[in-house]
Structure 1
Amino acid sequence: VCGGSLPHYAPAVLGVDLERCRVERPDEYFALEIGTDKDYLATQISFRLNLHGPSEVVQTACSSGLVAIVRAVQMLRLGLCDYVVCGGGSFSPDEAVRKVGGMIWSEDGICRPFAEGANGTVNSDGAGLLVLTSLAAAEARGQRVYATVRGAATNNDGARKAGYSAPSLEGQVEVIRAAFADAGIPVAGGAGADYIEAHGTGTKLGDPLEVQALTQAFGVEREVALGSVKGNVGHLNTAAGVPGTMKAALMLFHGRKVPTLHARHPSRLIDWDKTSLRLMDSAGDWHGSVAAVSSLGIGGTNAHVVLGAPPTRSKIGPRAPRAWRRDALPPTLFGA
């Protein structure tokens, strides 16, 4: 499908200070705008890779990256494309590490998801892209498969919360159940996920509420590992769901567990005796077969994706070495 109908979904990138450029360098304003503004992110990639399919930006605040992945899965299931490039990025060149007491940002510049001493999240920059295709197509081409997408869902909180920017217990529980129903996996009763890559921002309100929602959805019958990549890389804002998905997929692929940094001691704001969730605080071998990824956006758009372990590498076969070409498809990250 090189150069053919290959849709691309991407969440928005936080732009630079265009107003300053408008005043100081008006001759460069247009070039800077189309080169950095969120409206042109997806189409810039389509132009440079000569992709002819739908090219759209997803904008749901912090859940944008994972919502883009859900949209990609839906496109594949509808048979509208053979491959989908999706992901996102977030860059804030005019912002330093935020230290604002009483808000969501950490006062000491450290993000501690679900951990004692957590006082907020840390803004960070980054970008990532995933390539999704059907499992049959990946196997037929001998492409590397990191994980399979077994289920995916999005929803919105509506007004079922304390305020517009507040998280919702009901909204989170519903989207988790919807994703597992889509996967055909009972969410509770011990048959759900082996690992949950949570939204986990390290805030005093958000983390306890997320644990409560996960516990309500998954039950307490079986211990489930919990983590958040934000302790390692910070909060990538609109792209936050992308590194979380990559982490979960790589854990499934390599059979290795990855600890959440700065989470050595569980938070006393969370009643761990009433949940089967356990913080993953060390590295080592891991034999889980199902990992779930959560992402929550200010404004209430939630997303949840259920990943499964990939087929054995022997079934797919080794990938032959090849040089990168501008018109060549990159290796498949995981099949839907």
Structure 2
Amino acid sequence: MNAWLNDLALVSALGADTSAHLDALSGEQRSGLAQVAGLDNEGMTPYLGQVANLPLDSSGRNNAMIDLALAQLTNTLDKLRSRVAAHRIAVIIGTSTADIYDGERARAQQARHGSWPKHYHYHQQSLDAPAQYISNKLALEGPCYSISTACSSSSKALSSAKAMLQAGLADAVICGGADSLCQLTVNGFKALASTSAGICQPFAQQRDGINIGEGVGLFIMTRSADFGSARCALLGCGSSSDAYHMSAPEPQGKGAIAAMHQALAEAALTATDIDYINAHGTATVKNDAMEARAIADVIGAQTPVSSSKHLTGHTLGAAGAIEAGLCWLLIEQQRLGKTLTLPYHSGYALDASLATINLVQQPTRERPKTCMSNSFAFGGNNASIIIGEIA
């Protein structure tokens, strides 16, 4: 069964619609990362991937980002809801923080003034909140839940959506991920000594960690391709749980390798069929070493590989969907006869000790038809998905 990705919405530090993300892939690479005040407990201004359209102090920022995404899908959603019963449309969203920042500010107000904000409710920070918000806003009645496996959350949401369609439990699924900035993640990753002092440098010799980001990536997935003009489908999904360590990846990449092999097998593809790999590429010392080893083992050294986290930041639970979305744009644009520039790594020396893979180091205009996107998370929650054009 094909799981068609009929339409896409993207919101990240690169912009609040797919056009902004196309611009980032259309010419000279630009990062959406900038120094942001107000989240670091020590008063520092780390580089973060903030959605600039929404002030940091605005309430309900996670839902506001979801609204920006849903607005991009209006035409396809209208067509979908006119042809598919509400109880046959599911919602599956990956997240790691939901709207915890509102909870952080609410607790601060309660501590200062002894009262909670008028419009705050604790459910805003529950992990099922993003999925429930979408379902309620669109008056849907189908299965609705969130997946939270840290940085692989929304890749696994896409996999779960495909499985739901295959099982006949729904006829369409609104799926993807949503995560917003908060003090918990900014200071938590800082405490792990995993954050970069500047803009992150995936696979660099001097890499020093990640930049936390936020955003939303949403797809409309169905069994048929007649809800939009796209010809892109989720071809294969792989996942593993190596449980090597709470926060560090298994050094030899065993779990990552298993997930990538599983995705290839489900898609009935071989390594040579993959035109581009969007790497998890966090720019931490251990992740990049593990992932390079895994890609070299499974795919080899010919396929172009790059990370996009120096453009968007690490959007945690939304990362898998956003990065799959960038692959979707690359595939759809080549189908339309346009050529985009792959994310690339320039301006710094790559780590020569890494396993040999074909890292993109300069503006490279490619027309990929099949892409693999990797997401590797705390606790060994690994996911690899393959999307591609179907004629």
CA distance in 2, matches of 1:158, 1:94: 26
Q: Does 1:107 align with 2:197?
A: yes
Name the aligned partner's letter for residue 7 of structure 1: A
Q: Does 1:232 align with 2:311?
A: yes
SS of equivalent to 1:177: helix
Aligned to 2:7: none
- Kindly tell me: are residues 158 and 116 of structure 1, through their superposed partners in 2, closer, same or farther at Cα, counting changes over 3 Å? closer
- C-alpha contact (below 8 Å) 1:118/1:203 kept by paired residues: yes
Aligned mate of 2:249, from 155, 164, 167? 167
1:21 is displaced (CA, Å) by: 4.7
CA distance in 2, matches of 1:282, 1:296: 26
Aligned to 1:63: 152
1:165 is displaced (CA, Å) by: 1.3
Task: Kindly report which structure 2 residues correspond to 1:37-52, keeping only aligned pairs within 5 A, or say none.
Answer: 37-52=126-141
SS of equivalent to 1:20: helix
Aligned to 2:67: none
Aligned to 2:389: 309
Aligned to 1:248: 327
1:207 is displaced (CA, Å) by: 0.6
Q: C-alpha offsets along residues 34-68 of structure 1, whole Å, 9 cap, x if unaligned?
A: 23432322112111101111100101011101111
- C-alpha contact (below 8 Å) 1:156/1:171 kept by paired residues: yes
Task: Kindly report which structure 2 residues correspond to 1:1-336, keeping only aligned pairs within 5 A, or say none.
Answer: 2=81, 3-12=86-95, 13-16=98-101, 17=104, 18-23=106-111, 24=113, 26-28=115-117, 31-94=120-183, 100=190, 103-108=193-198, 110-134=199-223, 137-139=224-226, 141=227, 143-145=228-230, 147-159=232-244, 163-168=245-250, 169-187=253-271, 191-220=272-301, 223-255=302-334, 256-260=339-343, 262-271=345-354, 275-279=356-360, 281-284=362-365, 286-311=366-391
Let me know the Cα RMSD of the aligned residues: 2.5
CA distance in 1, matches of 2:367, 2:344: 21
CA distance in 1, matches of 2:347, 2:191: 23
Structure holding more helix per residue? 2
- C-alpha contact (below 8 Å) 1:121/1:202 kept by paired residues: yes
CA distance in 1, matches of 2:314, 2:287: 14
Q: C-alpha offsets along residues 199-256 of structure 1, whole Å, 9 cap, x if unaligned?
A: 0001122112100011111134xx1101111011111011111111011111111123
Flag structure 2 segments of 5+ consecutive residues without an equivalent.
1-79
SS of equivalent to 1:149: strand
Identity value in percent: 25
SS of equivalent to 2:89: coil
- C-alpha contact (below 8 Å) 1:68/1:86 kept by paired residues: yes
1:264 is displaced (CA, Å) by: 4.2
CA distance in 1, matches of 2:275, 2:204: 20
> How many pairs were matched up?
295
CA distance in 2, matches of 1:146, 1:202: 33
CA distance in 1, matches of 2:304, 2:126: 38
1:277 is displaced (CA, Å) by: 2.2
Name the aligned partner's letter for residue 106 of structure 1: S
1:115 is displaced (CA, Å) by: 2.8
- Kindly tell me: are residues 100 and 40 of structure 1, through their superposed partners in 2, closer, same or farther at Cα, counting changes over 3 Å? closer
Name the aligned partner's letter for residue 37 of structure 1: S
SS of equivalent to 1:201: coil
| TM-score, normalised relative to structure 1 | 0.80
CA distance in 1, matches of 2:353, 2:124: 44
- Kindly tell me: are residues 229 and 146 of structure 1, through their superposed partners in 2, closer, same or farther at Cα, counting changes over 3 Å? farther
1:102 is displaced (CA, Å) by: 7.3
Greater shift in the superposed pair: 94-103 or 202-211 = 94-103
CA distance in 1, matches of 2:360, 2:238: 24
